[in-house]
Structure 1
């Protein structure tokens, strides 16, 4: 099994959820995040003070899929989240050694 973690614009969450949901994946974990990368910070003036903000609001999505579905799910995420602009996000894929469903104690492939 593989864990897919992607960091995307919050506005792309519904499109990603719908596209992978049609494929049959329903479980995912979401985390609100602040991040910086290739995007330049933005400078604002607030009550006479200049404020530079280098961090942007993002959403981190985590899901675990079987090895044979990884490329397909990554492609679905890219198609749903891509705008072509800097800051579209990143996708990370890593190995999962094992998984245990707490409710039933099932081990292994618990999808």
Structure 2
């Protein structure tokens, strides 16, 4: 079974062979850094967190949410908009949308 040590060796070798190195000759990236880059970039581009969790090989989505959950604020905005529309359906048509965010109104609970 591959381990972090063997992954690290092959990753360093591939980066060095590709010329992706710092001025001192050491690789610019680590396997751990590339893992975080992958997860952050995927979430920033709206890949669902449960799919990212599977790609990362997590046994539980909780681990992924604990580490990367703060990177999905767009989902908070979508949820807030959906709840606002469900609670106050007649008020959305008259309000201009601003970058996808629900604007706070007096009386809104959030």
Normalised by the shorter chain, which TM-score bucket? under 0.3
TM norm structure 1: 0.26
Q: Which has the higher contact order (CA 8 A, sep 6+)?
A: 1
Q: Please tell me whether Structure 1 or Structure 2 has the larger radius of gyration of its CA atoms.
A: 2
Q: Which has the higher helix share?
A: 2
TM-score, with structure 2 as normaliser: 0.27
